[in-house]
Amino acid sequence: MDSNPGTWFLSGDEWGNAATDVHAGGEGSPSWSEGNLVRPLVHGATYFARLHEELSALQPGDRVWFTDWRGDADERLTPDGPTIGELLARLARAGVEVRGLIWRSHGERVSAPMSNLSNEHLSRQINDAGGEVLLDQRVRLFGCHHQKLFVIRNGNDPSRDVAFVGGIDLSHSRRDDADHAGDPQAVDMDPRYGKQPPWHDAALELRGPVVADVLKLFAERWDDPHPLDHRTPYRMLLQRLADMPRHPEPLPETAPPPPPAGPHAVQLLRTYGVKRPPFPFAPHGERSVARAYTKAFSLARNLIYIEDQYLWSAEVAAGIASALEQNPGLNVIAVVPRYPDSDGPLAGPPKRLGQLRAIERMRRAAPGRFGVFNLENTAGTPIYVHAKICIIDDTWFTIGSDNFNRRSWTTDSELTCAVIDTSAGSDASRSLAHSLRLQLWAEHLGLDQGDPQLHAQADGLALWNAAADALDHWHKTGRSSPRPKGHVRHHSPEPVPRLERLWAGPANRFLVDPDGRPRKMRGTTEF
């Protein structure tokens, strides 16, 4: 791999083919969007504050379009500010066009307005104020709409248009910061995360022509001619009881793309499962997320850094293991949650088994060059890693909604941005990917961003191992001495006994981590 980010971007054979054409069901190459300004937003509190700032500045005639997996109408965007439901409803009443698509989860029943059906309540609150937010069930069976995006368009000044893409839902537990004390508005999780689970997450702020690409993605889903409700009578009834139409109102004509805003090239990567009736914009499904990662792993030479909620499935592990085997100078560092979000006797074993198998495969490929870690806050409470980040060779990075598992790569609807800093020239240390890695590592390792230890990719795994060794030792010796710096612990998932594996394996493959590829591809590493 050439270390020059410009070469990465300009090489059509390498990065132009890293993803598939989103309109051709797996054929061709989507273009990169040049001239954008990308800002990584690490932590939900940072993202919510920026979202609040941009939404609060809107005027009548401006437009807000968004998608979400889960939204809680009462989630506060700032500690003393409005809730997301209040703010979007206020905008709709003031003449701002507010439209949204939120996944209607499987089996969700319709009940009284004061119940805890979060997605329905958020949509109702905005719709009662004059907006149009719909529950979208147009997904593969047992799949979900997992994309999280906002597009904000200003009627009088396109240069102010902005999009947000990432892994952060408009829901409880997401508004945490670098101190990781957790969101006061918390969700119920495995009790080892406490009553106010610490939460690590990330999103991107996008300005420039790519905003129009994000808007086009929203429009494709919105304009899907198939009914929002499912074909089964049960789900059709749910849609009727929720006072939701079967088809959205047509979108207005779109404005020209915003003008260039910066030096960053962005490629939108997506997943859509194969389903019936098919998505009109992806009739054979779409797996550009998986294809981009598969290509990127094969090009990596120095460092693959991953933050992920899951990190499991044979297909993901195979691509990383192959890269480790083919490139003796490559190191891989992965950061995952210490425990699944739900780790009970039925939910836990299938999740842990998938991760155990993936870790074993990657560690076997290069025992001394692969490390997997989890995080805890200074009080010793595990931090739930919900971020979906991948940084390769301080040159190419992604932030989005997809996880490193077969479900995200083949089944659920996902959206991820691949980013290259075209202004960095041959010096990767000047790239946006490099500065993002330094920000993340400084926080996790308890170091200053200017610490020279952070800069050398080749020494990164040793640095992480030393930090984890120190904190693990401090816990084992009774925590009697001053606590070592940082949040890093070695990750060792709880084993799954042989008898449990008899049922946990099939449960993982067919329920937890299903394969949404065409049948001829299943069981392979092809996407």
| pLDDT score of 322 more than 90 | yes
CA distance linking residue 32 with residue 407, whole number of Å: 25
The amino acid occupying position 279 is F
Pair of tokens at residue 200: 């690590």
Q: How confident is the model at residue 75 (pLDDT cuts 50, 70, 90)?
A: very high
Which domains, and CATH codes, for the chain? 35-241 (3.30.870.10), 272-516 (3.30.870.10)
* pLDDT on residue 16: 39
The pLDDT of residue 219: 96
Mean pLDDT of the region 178-199: 97
pLDDT above 70: residue 369: yes
Rounded to 5 degrees, what are φ and ψ at 172? -60, 150
List, as one string, the DSSP characters of 112-148.
Answer: -TTSS-HHHHHHHHHHHTT-EEEEE--S-TT--B---
- For residue 229, is pLDDT > 90? no
- What average pLDDT does this structure show over 360-384? 97
pLDDT digits (tens, 9 = 90+) for 423-474: 998 788 899 999 999 999 999 999 999 999 999 999 999 999 999 999 999 9
- Predicted local distance difference test score (pLDDT) of residue 234: 59
The answer to whether 164 and 211 are in contact (CB under 8 A) is no
Q: Which range (187-196, 258-267, 393-402, 423-432) has the least confidence?
A: 423-432
Cα–Cα nearest to 334, from 479, 488, 197: 488
Record the tokens describing residue 153, joined without a space: 């368009």
**Confidence band of 18 (pLDDT split at 50, 70, 90):** very low
The predicted pLDDT at position 426 comes to 78
Give the strand pairing for 63-68 and 97-103. Answer: parallel
Location of structure tokens 């699944």: 340
Q: Across all residues in the chain, what is the average pLDDT? A: 90
Task: Give the model confidence (pLDDT) of 479-494 as tens digits.
Answer: 999 999 999 999 999 9
Mean pLDDT of 368-379: 98
pTM above 0.85, yes or no: yes
Structure tokens at 166: 């990432």
Q: Do 305 and 390 touch, CB atoms closer than 8 A?
A: yes
Tell me the range of 12-21, 222-231, 306-315, 418-427 where mean pLDDT is highest: 306-315
- The rounded percent of the chain whose pLDDT value lies above 70 is 89
Q: Give the pLDDT band (50/70/90) at residue 253.
A: confident
Give the model's pLDDT for residue 141.
Answer: 85
Give the pairing of strands 162-166 and 202-207.
antiparallel
The mean-pLDDT minimum among 90-94, 203-207, 233-237, 426-430 falls in 233-237
pLDDT in the model for residue 17? 42
Angle made by CA atoms 405, 400, 463, in degrees to the nearest 5: 75
What is the structure's pLDDT at 39? 98
pLDDT per position as a tens digit, 391-427:
999 999 999 999 999 999 999 999 999 999 999 987 8
**What is the per-residue pLDDT for 255?**
81
Give me the pLDDT at residue 243, please. 64
The DSSP symbol for 521 reads G
pLDDT at 436: 98
Residue 25 is predicted with a pLDDT of 39
Output 521 or 239, whichever has higher pLDDT: 521
